[in-house]
Amino acid sequence: MTDSYAADALAADEVKVMTEADTIEIDAFLEHIDGIDREQRWGARFEPTSSQYQGEEGGFDAPLVFELGDIRSLLANWSYVQSAMRITDPSKLILEYTQVMMGFLLFNPSPRTIEIIGLGGGSLAKYCHKYLPETSIRGVEVDWEVIEVADQFCMPPPSERFEVIWADGADFVANDPQTTDILMIDGFDKHGQPPQLCSLDFYRACRSRLNAGGILVVNLCNYPERNAPMLARLRECFGEIITAPAEAGMNLVVFAFKDGRSCFDRADLQEAAGILQRNHSLPMAALVEKLLW
């Protein structure tokens, strides 16, 4: 084994250990949330009661900042954890779906621009700002109350390469004059994924917004009957797509490519994962094995 491969293997083992420790702490956090909620999280996410359909959730209307141990979280309601941050390491991605969304690095390790629809607590924005220093990042958030708590989540200050925009994500994608290399869609409200962020027109606008070689990354709640129309729309707009499950199957991350998907080789992606592992504390090798196409 060469020194380079040995270093890659050691880095991968270290990431695995760190990821397992994060998983234990996150599981404890989610179990604590389950104990507070009157209904199980899965039922609340995918099988709303009649009172929830009528907007009588019996919870809270504004986003809630909630802490347990070293984890600070942003909750849309007791069923939706929008963001989770390690207080002692604010840029670390501790929710699995955010790690999976960073899988675009396997296909483009150094994008010039990234746009994130659905800023939340800024987990993805903070990670990209720290670990992709040559990349400009724009985060778009529709809920002003979420933007108001950004300081509690250690958001980077505005600069030439970091901007937070208060706007409806669908309107922004359709009407903002700029384009981007990577477009990440992680927009949810207390009822789930807004219809305007998963329509056929929206996905068409996303494809038009991407630069040549651009990648759309979409986080979906992984409920097959509800996901099927969204996946069909994405395939209609982009052709073949790549998917990866996350959060014990509760989320599904989709990668769609502006220029259509090339024939990817898993061995080549594993090699790319090893290179990325030198600079990113993300379980890239494990992600490659999750990818479905």
* pLDDT tens digits for range 195-232: 999 999 999 999 999 999 999 999 998 876 778 999 99
Per-residue pLDDT band at 263 (split at 50, 70, 90): confident
Q: What pLDDT is attached to residue 151?
A: 93
For the cut 80, the answer to whether the pLDDT of residue 50 exceeds it is: no
Q: What pLDDT is attached to residue 18?
A: 53
For the cut 60, the answer to whether the pLDDT of residue 57 exceeds it is: no
Q: What fold does the segment set 96-290 form as a domain?
A: Rossmann fold (3.40.50)
**157-173 confidence digits (pLDDT tens):** 999 999 999 999 999 99
For the cut 50, the answer to whether the pLDDT of residue 19 exceeds it is: yes
Identify the weakest region by mean pLDDT among 77-86, 99-108, 155-164, 278-287: 77-86
207-225 burial string, b = 16+ CB within 10 Å, else e?
bebbbeebbbbbbbbbeee
Residue 242 has a CB neighbour count (10 Å cut-off) of 19
Q: What pLDDT is attached to residue 275?
A: 96
> In 3D, which of 201, 141, 135 has the Cα closest to residue 162?
135
Per-residue pLDDT band at 189 (split at 50, 70, 90): low
The residues annotated as belonging to the active site are 186
Asked if 180 and 209 count as a contact pair (C-beta separation under 8 A), the reply is yes
- pTM for this predicted structure: 0.83
Phi, psi for 289 (deg, rounded to 5): -70, -20
Domain parsing of the chain, residue ranges: 3-86, 96-290
Q: In 3-state terms, what secondary structure has residue 194?
A: coil
For the cut 50, the answer to whether the pLDDT of residue 125 exceeds it is: yes
Mean pLDDT for all residues in the chain = 85
For the cut 70, the answer to whether the pLDDT of residue 116 exceeds it is: yes
For the cut 80, the answer to whether the pLDDT of residue 86 exceeds it is: yes
For the cut 50, the answer to whether the pLDDT of residue 44 exceeds it is: no
